[in-house]
Amino acid sequence: MQAELVAFREEVRSFCREALPQDIRRKVAENLALERADHQRWQKILHGRGWMGGHWPLAHGGKAWKPLQRWLFEQTLAEEGAPWLIPMGVAYVGPVIYSFGSEAQKRRFLPPILSADHFWAQGYSEPNAGSDLAGLKTRAERHGDHYVVNGQKTWTTYAQWADWIFCLARTEAGDRPQDGVSFLLIDMTSPGVTVRPIATMDGKHHVNEVFFDNVRVPAENLVGEEGKAWRYAKFLLVQERLIAAETGRIRHLLAGLRAVAASVQEAGRPLGQTPSFAARIADIAIDLAALEAVCARLLAHADGDAPGGVEVNMLKIRSSELQQRVTEEMIRALGRLGIPFDPAHLDPGATPPADWPRGATGMASEFMYLRAATIYGGSNEIQRGIIAKQGLGL
């Protein structure tokens, strides 16, 4: 790796060690529930350092990082125990707006993304349009200088925190299901927008249903051309999958696994010292090294924007499976305690028994939440289909 990238990574590392607030660090380390205010505080700290949207162009407040540098940045953040950089604003809609939006949209929406004053949600999936996204039914009808939006989105991550949502909505019937879909920016405080939480088995509040009932959206909030959203959505999906390599997150999880394997006892010695368990941890670490090697090679060759080939789909498959494997081993370790799980212990104020491994409840929660890693962002079945069709020509 080039010396300046190594230096950059160390700079990020020492910044995290100094600037990441202790209370937030603890919540991440123990997989406790974070609030919007925690994410916002940390993102503002990064913004103060000039590192929010480092991969954005200079003209829009970024640092024009190339993909390799961006990957190292996000990997180091996660490895150092910083909160996940919620991607909907800075990684998804931001690049769509600066690539396809109007000048007015750029002026209005980009600065509050970088300053973390606006939180965004992604209005894509619908009850009958999940893997088959083009089957979406939400409609936007033009009435003078407004669209009137009706429909329902689902699996909407952090809609409960969002100030804005970017939505795919059908503006006309097209020959193909992908035609006639438009990309709209909708104020979550608009009359007719309702957010309903979805309870998931991990005990935290991640996802929601979002209902649109005659929601009036100013026509100026249309991004790009009417009916051309599929092009922007595909651009965005590539961004989403690049993030999905999540190697820093896996490093962080792996450190947690090693800690729990050192703390849980088997036959009077640390579980991590038993050969079968040690071998599985080693297998995970080896597969992580392979994933990082694939990432580094792919990104080193990507000069400008994110690489757009099916390699990113491969990253998503491998990464999501690896994230699951790490937490599966955590659960195996915690099996010696019968796997304690009380969602009340996910509250940072809770005091679980001091003799339990640190963050035991959070590990169980993470294990359950990460079952979704092979489902969200395009399920792994969809990813394999894309690779087979587009990559292999089958």
Partner 1 sequence: MATAPLPQNATPDNDLGSALADSASRLLATGGDDATLYAAMAEAGWLAVAIAEEQGGLGLGLAQLAALARAIGEARSTVPVMAVAGIALPLLAAAQGKLAEDLLAAALVGEAVPVLAHQAEAAGHARGHGLARLVPAEGGLRLVGRWVAVEAAGFACHLLVPARRPDGATVIVVLAVADAGVERRTYRAIDGRLLMDVAIDAAVAGDQCLTLPDPDAALDAALDRGALLAMAEAVGSMRVLLADTLAYLKTRRQFGQPIGRFQALQHRAVDLTIALEEAEAVVDAACEAEGTADFGRAVAVAKVVGCRSARLIAREAVQMHGGIGITEELRVSHHFRSLTAAESRYGDDDAYRARFAALTASDLPPAKEHRA
Rounded least distance, CB 36 to partner 1, Å: 22
- List the one residue from 21, 50, 111, 128 that touches partner 1 (CB under 8 A): 128
277 belongs to the binding site for partner 1 (CB under 8 A): yes
DSSP SS3 for 338: coil
Rounded least distance, CB 364 to partner 1, Å: 6
Residue 86 makes CB contacts below 8 A (sequence gap 6+) with 39, 119, 158
Q: Which of 69, 54, 67, 99 is nearest to 303 (CA)?
A: 67
Cβ pair 96, 46 in contact under 8 A? no
What part of residues 181-200 is at the interface with partner 1 (CB under 8 A)? Answer: 198-200
- List the one residue from 335, 347, 389, 390 that touches partner 1 (CB under 8 A): 335
- Residue 137 or 336 having the CB closest to partner 1: 336
Choices 137-145, 223-231, 238-246, 336-344 (CB under 8 A): range interacting with partner 1: 336-344
What is the C-alpha separation between 275 and 278, in angstroms, rounded?
Answer: 5
What are the two backbone dihedrals, phi and then psi, of residue 262, each rounded to the nearest 5 degrees? -80, -25
What is the C-alpha separation between 98 and 80, in angstroms, rounded?
Answer: 30
Rounded least distance, CB 115 to partner 1, Å: 32
What part of residues 209-238 is at the interface with partner 1 (CB under 8 A)? Answer: none
Cβ pair 149, 212 in contact under 8 A? yes
209 among known catalytic residues: no
Rounded least distance, CB 276 to partner 1, Å: 5
- Residue 177 or 192 having the CB closest to partner 1: 177
For residue 131, give the amino acid letter: S
Give DSSP secondary structure letters for 243-257: HTT-HHHHHHHHHHH
368 belongs to the binding site for partner 1 (CB under 8 A): yes
- List the one residue from 132, 220, 225, 347 that touches partner 1 (CB under 8 A): 132
Q: CB count, 10 Å around CB of 129?
A: 18
- List the one residue from 268, 304, 349, 393 that touches partner 1 (CB under 8 A): 268
- List the one residue from 3, 58, 267, 354 that touches partner 1 (CB under 8 A): 267
313-345 per-residue burial string, b: 16 or more CB within 10 A, e: under 16: bbbbbbbbebbbbbbebbbbbbeeeebebebeb
Catalytic residue numbers, as ranges: 240
Residues contributing to the site for partner 1 (CB under 8 A): 125, 128, 130-132, 135, 154-155, 198-202, 207, 264-268, 271, 274, 276-277, 331-332, 335-342, 353, 364, 367-369, 371-372, 374-376, 379-381, 384
